[in-house]
Structure 1
């Protein structure tokens, strides 16, 4: 891969890394697992980047790869996520620290969302990221109507979880 492509990738990843941190928070329960999943998603993004055609925004493509990676690994392991050796990756990315403790109210929401199924988690995540239903449906590969119906059902379920 040429240096320009590598530079573009690193720049885009640094600018959008909070997407990956948020996905990691949804699918992990501790800092080590979070870091491992972040690493694995970064590697999968790097491997897939040469195929990124730019048909969608980088962030939309990044959501899709990150969510697919997290869901795939979560389903395979359920408890621990295997990772690849980070030293084998050529580039270094300056990682901003993501401190979930600053957002106490979000902790309760994350806890409730973790009780949802994999696709429902992804749908809530995209909804909370202010994605419209078209973007959600494109990212998850479902119809726009299905995304709306699922979201309405999820809202009811979350209310039940948060207010027993």
Structure 2
């Protein structure tokens, strides 16, 4: 495949699945500048890895794997900096999808968001993918862990959420 065709194919797929970039960046970064940085880094890493993308696999699964790895690396590299201690900002609206916006004044949403933000990067990724209604098999493939491990971790997280919100 020539460079122009490769670039066009990449741009088309990226545009079709761009929400993944924003969801991951919003899940791992509190500040707009950090979200922009992570989003740009995700796109750069996706482009860099695109020649090795296996079209027999779902693009969204491949994209999630790279996006989550970039975001987790970003958080880990900046973990000691105060600006990455994630706290709720009451003025932020969380985009659930294009048709629904939930303002953080809703106590259940705030409690869930606070819980998610307290989790380590792997558990955040699990919750993000679970809340997006990905199958356990797909989550396992994205995160590189077994389906059994996904099921166990999600069940434990559900219990911890119930305890946190109660």
Answer yes or no: same fold by TM over 0.5.
Answer: yes
Q: Could you say which structure has the greater relative contact order, defined with CA pairs below 8 angstroms and 6 or more residues apart?
A: 1
Q: Structure 1 residues 107 and 46 mapped into 2: Cα distance closer, same or farther (>3 Å)?
A: farther
SS at match of 1:142: coil
Q: Which protein is richer in strand relative to its size?
A: 2
Give structure 1 stretches of 5+ with no counterpart: 82-98
CA contact (8 A) 1:24 1:34 kept: yes
SS in 2 for 1:100: strand
- Per the TM alignment, residue 25 of structure 1 is displaced from its structure 2 partner at its CA by 0.8
Residue 96 of structure 1 corresponds to none
Offset from partner CA, 1:15-57 (integer Å, 9 cap, x none): 1111110101110012111111111111111111111012311
Cα deviation digits, residues 92-126 of structure 1 (max 9, x gap)? xxxxxxx6363225554333211111111111111
1:136 to 136, 139, 143: 139
> Counterparts in 2 of 1:34-49, with a 5 A limit?
34-49=35-50
TM-score after normalising by structure 1: 0.81
CA distance in 2, matches of 1:116, 1:48: 28
104, 125, 133: which one aligns with 2:128: 125
State which drifts further: 123-132 or 71-80: 71-80
Structure 1 residue 109 and structure 2 residue 112: aligned?
A: yes
Counterpart Cα distance in 2 of 1:47 and 1:113: 30
Separation in 2, partners of 1:70, 1:27: 6
How far residue 128 of structure 1 moved from its aligned partner, in angstroms, is 1.2
RMSD value, Cα: 1.9
After TM superposition, which residue ranges in structure 1, 4 or more long, deviate above 4 angstroms? 105-108
Partner of 2:8: 7
